[in-house]
């Protein structure tokens, strides 16, 4: 995993990351079981596991979980929340596991950070023959006007940060040793107050969390003003931040 300069925001904002992020819809569990064939007796690796936001879904699927995460602050949060999970320091391009040692591999909200031929070659090494690689993201539904307006504010600061929304991760496919087997997209929503699901979510974005304190404070003021002037957000009650959860599966040949 090439630790991009903008990922430094995760060092600073690890404690806020999980609270500010949406969960996953029921369809994600079905995808793990039916497409990736994760269940009792299988061994599944999550690469770029972060604070462990996706681990409860993996746990419900029933496999034995190993997590690899390069950022110490994120890994510490993962271990604190999931002390029974084997959490390893490593990267997508240097996974600290033997050849053909996992039945399935998942990257949740992470693959765009390390979408390189070297990372895929390493994943191919660690997967068993016929093993499955699953990529999953929660992407904002920018077809909703207020969501698109929010993105305009945050995107000013993205620079060259790798992001799922650009689609640049797709450039590594087709990849030697992998064949695509499934793609699906489902609706999702992050329920909470605007403070929780809009402000905290924005401040947890890597390139926002990594800004100098003065600029982060400016972004926070901009988002609070945006909430105050947006009718769908200004009431103070719970809202549903709309997302689309996208899932892609590849089989190791």
Tens digit of pLDDT at every position of the chain (253 positions): 444 444 444 444 445 555 668 999 999 999 999 999 999 999 999 999 999 999 999 999 999 999 999 999 999 999 999 999 999 999 999 999 999 999 999 999 999 999 999 999 999 999 999 999 999 999 999 999 999 999 999 999 999 999 999 999 999 999 999 999 999 999 999 999 999 999 999 998 989 999 999 999 999 999 999 999 999 999 999 999 999 999 999 999 9
DSSP state of 195: I
Half-sphere exposure of 85 (CA within 13 A, CB side): 32
Q: Which domains can be identified in the chain, with CATH numbers?
A: 5-141+161-190+244-252 (3.40.50.150)
pLDDT value, residue 102? 98
Per the rule left: phi > 0, alpha: psi between -120 and 50, beta: everything else, 118 is alpha
User: For residues 78 and 108, is the Cβ–Cβ distance under 8 A?
Assistant: no
Whole-number pLDDT of residue 14: 47
Give Rg (Cα) of the chain: 18
The predicted pLDDT at position 21 comes to 80
Give the C-alpha separation, 38 to 83, whole Å. 21
């Amino acid at each position: 995993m090439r630790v991009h300069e903008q990922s430094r925001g995760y060092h600073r904002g690890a404690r806020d990351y999980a609270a500010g992020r949406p969960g996953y819809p029921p369809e994600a569990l079905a995808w793990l079981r039916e497409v990736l064939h994760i269940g009792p007796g299988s061994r599944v690796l999550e690469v770029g596991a972060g604070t462990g936001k996706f681990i409860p879904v993996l746990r419900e699927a029933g496999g034995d979980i190993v997590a690899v995460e390069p950022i110490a602050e994120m890994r510490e949060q993962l271990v604190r929340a999931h002390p029974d999970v084997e959490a390893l320091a490593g990267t997508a391009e240097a996974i600290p596991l033997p050849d053909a040692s996992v039945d399935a591999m998942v990257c949740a909200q992470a693959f765009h950070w390390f979408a390189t031929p070297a990372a895929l070659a390493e994943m191919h090494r660690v997967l068993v023959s016929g093993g499955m690689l699953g990529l999953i993201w929660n992407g904002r539904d920018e077809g909703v006007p207020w969501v698109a307006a929010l993105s305009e504010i945050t995107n000013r600061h993205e620079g060259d940060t790798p992001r799922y929304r650009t689609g640049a991760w797709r450039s590594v496919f087709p990849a030697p040793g992998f064949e695509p087997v499934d793609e699906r997209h489902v609706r999702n929503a992050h329920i909470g107050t605007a403070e929780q699901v809009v402000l905290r979510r924005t401040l947890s974005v890597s390139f926002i969390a990594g800004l100098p304190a003065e600029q982060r404070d400016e972004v926070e003021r901009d988002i609070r003003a945006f909430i105050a002037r947006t009718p769908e957000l200004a009431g103070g009650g719970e809202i549903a931040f709309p997302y689309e959860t996208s899932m892609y599966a590849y089989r190791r040949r």
